[in-house]
Amino acid sequence: MQIRAVLFIVGVLLTCIGVFMLVPLAVSIGYGDGAFEGLATSLVCIIGLGLLLAWLDRPRGSLKLTPREGLAAVGICWIVASFAGGLPYVFTGWMSVTDAVFEAASGFTTTGATILSDIEALPPSVLLWRSFTHWLGGMGIIVLSLIVLPVLGVGGMQLYRAEAPGPRPDKMTPRMQDTSLILWKMYCLMTVVLVILLHLAGMDWFDAVNHSFSTVATGGFSTKNASIAAFPSPAIQWILIVFMFLAGVNFALHYRLLAGDWGTYRRNFEFVAYAIMLAVGACLIVGVLVLNDIFPLKTWAELEQVVRAVLFQVVSICTTTGFITENYIGWPALSLGIILLFTCIGGCTGSTAGGVKVLRVVVLVRLIYKEIFRLLHPHSVYGLKIDGQPVLPEILSGIVGFFLLYLLVLLFGTLLVAAQGIDLTTAFTANLTCISNVGPGLGKVGPVDNFGWLPDFSKWILSLVMLLGRLEFYAIVVLFVPEFWKR
């Protein structure tokens, strides 16, 4: 284990975060919102520490990372980023250290859970930093650093494999740096297009930028206490539905489409399953709400309203964005069950969404069917294939192992939070929404509530759960295994 190599990468990452903090700093100057001193202090501390680490631990030549070092670098970087990203909240006087780390972890992991009860009271520059942490964490601050690290002589594929969400990171070009640039170009293009569309639909530029950062990153932080319910415009909500859906799709498919492969979505089994799942879930909830007279259905306008309300929440939850237009706590139990199911499943592999991922769910369902089929036909041969490619045994074992870790972390997290006197519904859904990086849960952490009232110990537990879910466990779990640090 080359500890100095890992610390060098941490230093580069901190420097990048500090440089990005120049954006809210400029906004603070423009608005004169009083947060300049706190932001400037944070920037100096972060860049100073980053440069110091990078200088002291700089490699003497070309540095090649092993998979072990890649895991360590990713896990430590995300933990350090959560603390560094919380400094502006502390130095501007808006939060305690515990709340600041929770808010920053929620931002970088694109969870969107917040401790704030009055979001609109924050200065514009601090609001922008909240949304900006989403945008940086969405594609992955490690993937961003892959553009820089190859120039410094550090190999990047181990970092990409450790950070990229899903069981099969898609390396689109031979050079990792080129792959990162392609991903970030797609990411920036979607963001710019969404900013323009939201502004044309009625948002001011500041709100359009903030909500675009949160949407493309499938994060969920809003500049309004009422989230997207503060923007009742159907045009704004339909635009967000489309872009949340796209952000939940493997970005490699978007790239192939722009490269001229018009059938890429249709041929991708995961995308087809993702689209069908959302459509079926939305139809079921619409039917339940109409039958229970939750929404009237006498005119075409009322039909559009209920379809938009349901589709927005279904897409928002499944893509783990977490924006809110309706307080669905009052919906019938079947609707809440479907929403919880989407909270667990999440979006596609290679997207900015969290959750178990559609591909893993499809493979697990097929694996169950395979075992049933084998019992009925003991001498048959039944192989698992996705998109015409066989699913290798090591991938199968990885998916099963991931799902078991998911359940174990969810179980122990729920027990730890419930042990502090929190009701079981709140404790369970708080952990579920954090491990899947969604944001709103049920009970006392529902769509119109926040996490600020929780005990500090619960906030630290949930911050760790968010990081575990975002990095899909292994990059954090291995840090606590003694054998991992042995030579």
pLDDT in tens, 361-420: 988 888 888 888 888 877 777 677 777 777 777 778 888 888 999 999 999 999 999 999
Query: Residue 69: its pLDDT value, please?
Result: 77
Percent residues over pLDDT 90 in the chain: 58
Burial of 222 (0-12, 13-18, 19+ CB in 10 A): buried
Q: What average pLDDT does range 133-158 have in this prediction?
A: 60
Q: What is the pLDDT of residue 480?
A: 82
Give the confidence band of 5 by pLDDT, cuts at 50, 70, 90: confident
pLDDT of residue 165: 54
pLDDT in tens, 208-232: 999 999 999 999 999 999 999 999 9
Percent pLDDT > 70 in the chain is: 90
450-476: average pLDDT:
92
Residue 156 confidence class, pLDDT cut points 50, 70, 90: very low
With 90 as the cut, is the pLDDT of residue 164 above it? no
Confidence of residue 151 (pLDDT cuts 50, 70, 90): very low
pLDDT at 286 over 60: yes
User: Residue 84 is encoded by which pair of tokens?
Assistant: 């560094």
Q: Inform me whether the pLDDT recorded for 309 exceeds 90.
A: yes
pLDDT in tens, 31-52: 999 999 999 999 999 999 999 9
Q: Please determine, for residue 455, whether its predicted confidence score (pLDDT) is greater than 70.
A: yes
Residue 423 token pair: 């009701």
pLDDT band, very low/low/confident/very high, at 174 (cuts 50, 70, 90):
low
Per-residue pLDDT at 171 exceeds 60: no
Q: Are 10 and 77 in contact (CB under 8 A)?
A: yes
**147 falls in which pLDDT band (50, 70, 90)?**
very low
Q: Which tokens sit at 105?
A: 């972890």
For residue 417, what pLDDT is reported? 96
Alpha-carbon distance 110 to 59, whole Å?
A: 32
pLDDT for the residue numbered 153? 47
Short-list 349, 460, 433, 487, CA closest to 79 = 460
Average pLDDT, the chain: 87
- Residue 28: per-residue pLDDT: 95
Q: Under 8 Å CB-to-CB from 393, ≥6 apart: which residues?
A: none
- Mean pLDDT in residue range 288-294: 89
- Kindly indicate the confidence band of residue 159, based on its pLDDT and cuts at 50, 70 and 90: very low
Q: Return contacts of 362-366, CB within 8 angstroms, 24+ apart.
A: 362/269, 362/270, 362/273, 362/386, 363/391, 363/395, 363/396, 363/399, 364/399, 364/400, 364/403
Q: Over 90: is that where the pLDDT of 182 sits?
A: no
Average pLDDT value for residue range 315-339? 93
Contact 115, 450 (CB under 8 A): yes
- The whole-number pLDDT of residue 149 equals 46
pLDDT of residue 261: 87
Highest-scoring range by mean pLDDT, 91-105, 140-154, 169-183, 358-372: 91-105
pLDDT at residue 141 tops 60: no
Query: pLDDT tens-digit profile of 100-109?
Result: 999 999 999 9
pLDDT at 384: 75
pLDDT confidence bin for 143, thresholds 50/70/90? low
Residues 74-88: tens digit of each pLDDT: 888 899 999 999 999
Query: What's the pTM value of the predicted model, to 2 decimals?
Result: 0.90
Task: Say whether pLDDT at 167 is over 90.
Answer: no
Q: Using alpha carbons, select from 172, 210, 173, 180 the residue that is nearest to residue 194.
A: 210
Within 8 A by CB and 6+ apart from 241, the residues are 308, 311, 312, 315
* 6 contacts 145 by C-beta, under 8 angstroms: no
pLDDT band at 205 (very low <50, low <70, confident <90, very high): very high
pLDDT at 43: 96
* DSSP for 281-304, written as a single string: HHHHHHHHHHHTTSS--SSHHHHH
